[in-house]
């Protein structure tokens, strides 16, 4: 039987190593030199999200199960005590959407989002973008707010666990620049809070997905080189 400290150290180590390999995978994908047709842009986007889901979700969950007998549901993919939080989560979601509409005025943000650099957007491409984010963030939140946060809380207590979580979470955002890494700290704190209060990662997946998807749509709306076209076919 492994101690709680051993499980926490495993959670920290797997988060660090998996994040590093995910960074290498992103670097490789972004280095693809093929002509960026719309189809290629979509395929590269989906490749990034599927690899993220596998590296950040499936592999850590499998290793935790094999070596430490941490069952998948121990990662808190449950409703937990989140029922009473849903009204509050809806309010937070609305605020995030409004904040993203304001932030999307920044040219720097529009250089990063949307991740699929399509000029024409319709229902199909929006569904692909949203689905990719939800898949990726399910694995992401399972690792950071599931395996990492809960195991560190058991071993070290709430505030040391949150500090470790925010340090690693912010570091992973450095690939998108210092501003995003700094902005990840208060947002990560919010995600840790709602995860602890609900004893579930489902609210964190919801909030994170709303934030990411609304940022994509807001940046499309603010980008003069992109436009919505809901009449055309999928791509």
pLDDT tens for each residue of 40-53 = 899 999 999 999 99
Exposure pattern of 186-208 as b/e (b: 16+ CB <10 Å)? ebbebbbebbbebebbbbbbbbb
Look up the pTM and report it: 0.89
Q: Domains in the chain: how many in total?
A: 1
Decide if 235 is inside a domain. Answer: no
| pLDDT value at residue 161 | 96
Give the separation between CA 146 and CA 169, rounded to whole angstroms.
Answer: 13
Determine, yes or no, domain membership for 119: yes
Which band of pLDDT confidence, cut at 50, 70 and 90, is reported for residue 80?
Answer: low
How does pLDDT run across 109-120, given as a tens digit for each residue?
A: 898 899 999 999
* Residue 233 domain flag: no
Contact 110, 223 (CB under 8 A): yes
Q: Please check the confidence at residue 232 and state whether its pLDDT lies above 70.
A: no
Domain containing residue 121: 4-228
């Amino acid at each position: 039987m492994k101690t709680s400290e051993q499980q926490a150290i495993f959670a920290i180590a797997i988060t660090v190593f998996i994040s590093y390999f995910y960074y290498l995978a992103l670097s490789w994908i972004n280095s693809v030199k093929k002509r960026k047709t719309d189809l290629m842009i979509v395929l590269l986007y989906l490749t990034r999200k599927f690899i993220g889901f596998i590296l950040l979700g499936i592999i850590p969950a499998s290793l935790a199960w094999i070596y430490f007998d941490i069952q998948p549901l121990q990662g808190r993919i449950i409703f937990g005590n989140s029922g009473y939080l849903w009204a509050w989560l809806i309010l937070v979601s609305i605020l995030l959407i409004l904040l993203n509409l304001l932030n999307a005025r920044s040219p720097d943000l529009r250089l990063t989002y949307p991740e699929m650099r399509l000029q024409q957007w319709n229902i199909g491409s929006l569904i692909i973008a949203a689905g990719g984010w939800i898949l990726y963030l399910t694995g992401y939140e399972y690792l950071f707010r599931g395996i990492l946060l809960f195991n560190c809380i058991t071993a070290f207590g709430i505030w040391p666990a949150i500090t470790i979580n925010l340090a690693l979470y912010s570091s992973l955002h450095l690939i998108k620049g210092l501003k995003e890494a700094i902005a990840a700290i208060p947002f990560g704190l919010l995600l840790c809070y709602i995860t602890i209060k609900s004893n579930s990662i489902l609210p964190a997946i919801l909030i994170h997905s709303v934030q990411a998807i609304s940022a994509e749509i807001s940046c499309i709306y603010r980008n003069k080189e992109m436009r919505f076209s809901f009449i055309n076919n999928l791509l």
